[in-house]
A and B are shown apart, each in its own frame.
With several copies, the nearest count.
Chain A
Amino acid sequence: MTIDLGRGLVLRNPVMTASGTFGYGEEYTDFVDLAQLGGIIVKGTTLNPRQGNPYPRMAETPSGMLNCVGLQNKGVPYFINTIYPRIKDFDTNVLLNLSGSTLEDYVRGAEMINTLDKIPAIELNVSCPNVKQGGMAFGVTCAGITQVVSEVRKVYHKHLMVKLSPNVTNIAEIALAAEAAGADSVSLINTLMGMAIDAERRQPKLSMVTGGLSGACVKPVALRMVWQVAKAVKIPVVGLGGISNATDAVEFMLAGASAIEIGTANFIDPAISAKVADGMRDYCERHGFQKVSELIGALEG
């Protein structure tokens, strides 16, 4: 079940958990043996602490949810001093999801993370739709992505995964820009920007009016984008968006993903990530695949 994403990032199996949906892993150890996962991606972290947005931060939608958490986190130094020591010996890959509002923040943060032995990769979040300066500006233009990725690349010497925003006209173009700027892999999708209104009270349901849509409802869009990007780039693609079971995960692999992440589904079944890994193994056995990597891009027709 091993997947090698390059530059030292080797996953025991293709299943990781998505940033912002799995805390620091600690919240789920009662439900999942982390050694059953290819990796976990911890909560989006910024150089400096952020309080995030006011409550209410989430709204349920048909087969999905909106959130506007807004990158609440205690900052990179706190992560390094307080959280890292607690989680660094997890028996799985621990990736840090790095967000920022300025180029300097990204670079400073990456530099500091680069010193952490047990963090084999950064997932660079250039696509958070929930904060004014959440990097989304970087993530929606080729120029923006080229700039942030190439600057971070200069200081970060391990695996650099770039997480793409789906809120763009041409995702393949953005992925190509990330690749050219030195990304080792791309992950997609982050949330689609959406909105919910309480008609009775005539008010937005979210404190920030808009938020990021995730969950099963976004799967068709995510799958399409993964397919488009996988055809365009040569670096590995990590697929996510609405994956709720092993069949969904297999679909992303067939569309061209080398690994997958599970987000919102963790809320519905806290044990889902391990179950998906098991289910993918079963699928491979049932269909006569020796290695899970044979699924990558194996869509017919």
Chain B
Amino acid sequence: MKQIADFTLVGKECYGTSVLLRLRDEQPLPEIVPGQFVQVRVDDSPSTYLRRPISIHDVDVANHEISLLVQMVGEGTRHLGAANVGDQLNLVLPLGNGYTLPTKGERVLLVGGGIGIAPLYYLAKTMALKGVKPTFLLGGKKAADLVRVDAYSSIGETLITTEDGSLGEKGMVTMHSVWQQRQFDKIYVCGPKRMMMAVADIARANNVWCEVSLEHMMACGLGACLCCVEDTVEGNLCVCKEGPVFNTRRLKW
């Protein structure tokens, strides 16, 4: 069941233009599956009228905590990044459909670009609990774009590309040598659209199952306004409700 709740910011870590927000609710959390997101109300920001959709980066059921990994790209995310420990943030959650979890024994690759790495963390943790060991392939423009690499590495092997070669292999994620060397059963992707389309192309070429998480602009986040549609093989579907995760078979790309 979806809810609106005031969370308290109990922890904050800054990574350049990104920030990790640890938020605690008084009440127990609703059930959250990897890939779902929250709609955050941005208070005290005159130029931010609507809520902002942010993926759920991590969940700590025992402590009623969720984490968000936010990249400060505009006024709204900058205001979120400026929140102080002790501040309250109003969230609507959990929203959307999550990723389809793999079954034991499947070889999975989690591909993240830029801030798109955010939902992959909770996804990987959940898989690991089910006994599936994920491999991460994370890409950024430069080393500084890749945040929390240690945290990812502690869950699974973590491969990296940077466009300037400052970390891992030089180039885009799609150019990483892993594609030549290994086979995967399931590929999970989140990142800039162009990158997701490129990964989807590889998956399709190799006939591999692939789910991507779309980041369309949203108003309601509930499937009510029909603003966030993706033109799929089934027609215009709301990313907030039918997604944000889609199997690439359903998409026109």
Q: Which A residues fall within an 8 A CB radius of B?
A: 20-23, 27-28, 30-31, 43, 51-52, 54-65, 67, 69, 72, 215-216, 264, 266-271
Contacts and interface: CB of A to CB of B under 8 A. Distances in A.
B101 interface: no
Contacts of A55: 216, 228-231, 236
Interface residues of B, number: 30
17 contacts: A20-B226, A22-B224, A27-B222, A27-B241, A30-B3, A31-B2, A55-B228, A57-B226, A57-B228, A58-B227, A59-B217, A62-B46, A65-B49, A72-B226, A267-B220, A268-B41, A270-B222
A161 to B, nearest CB: 21
Contact of A20 (B216, B223, B225, B236): B225
Interface string B209-225: 00000001101111111
A67 B225 CA distance: 9
Contact of B219 (A27, A52, A63, A67): A67
B233 interface: no
A42 to B, nearest CB: 10
B229 A52 contact: yes
B180 interface: no
B12 to A, nearest CB: 24
B4 A271 contact: yes
A122 B155 CA distance: 56
Nearest to B47: A62
B208 interface: no
A58 B226 CA distance: 9
A27 B220 contact: yes
Contacts of B236: 51-52, 55, 72
Given A267-B50, A271-B4, A23 B222 contact: yes
Given A55-B216, A55-B231, A58-B227, 6 more contacts: A20-B226, A27-B220, A31-B2, A57-B227, A266-B224, A270-B4
Interface in B23-65: 41, 46-51
B73 interface: no
Interface in B1-18: 1-4
B235 interface: yes
A64 B49 contact: yes
B92 interface: yes
Contacts of B220: 21, 23, 27, 266-267, 270
A267 B231 contact: no
A59 B50 CA distance: 10
Interface residue SS majority, chain A: loop
B51 to A, nearest CB: 6
Contacts of A23: 220, 222-225
Given A268-B50, A269-B4, A28 B227 contact: no
A52 B226 contact: yes
Nearest to B235: A51
Contacts of A57: 226-229
A71 to B, nearest CB: 9
Contacts of B222: 23, 27-28, 270
A202 B71 CA distance: 24
Contacts of B224: 21-23, 27-28, 266-267
A270 B219 CA distance: 11
A43 B41 CA distance: 25
A72 B46 contact: no
B50 A65 contact: yes
Contacts of B92: 270
A262 to B, nearest CB: 12
Nearest to A50: B236
B226 A267 contact: no
B2 A63 contact: no
B78 to A, nearest CB: 15
The 4 closest A-B pairs by CB, nearest first: A23-B224, A58-B227, A30-B2, A27-B224
Nearest to A30: B2
B229 A267 contact: no
A54 B223 contact: no
A31 B2 CA distance: 8
A203 to B, nearest CB: 14
A101 to B, nearest CB: 18
A63 B46 CA distance: 8
A40 to B, nearest CB: 11
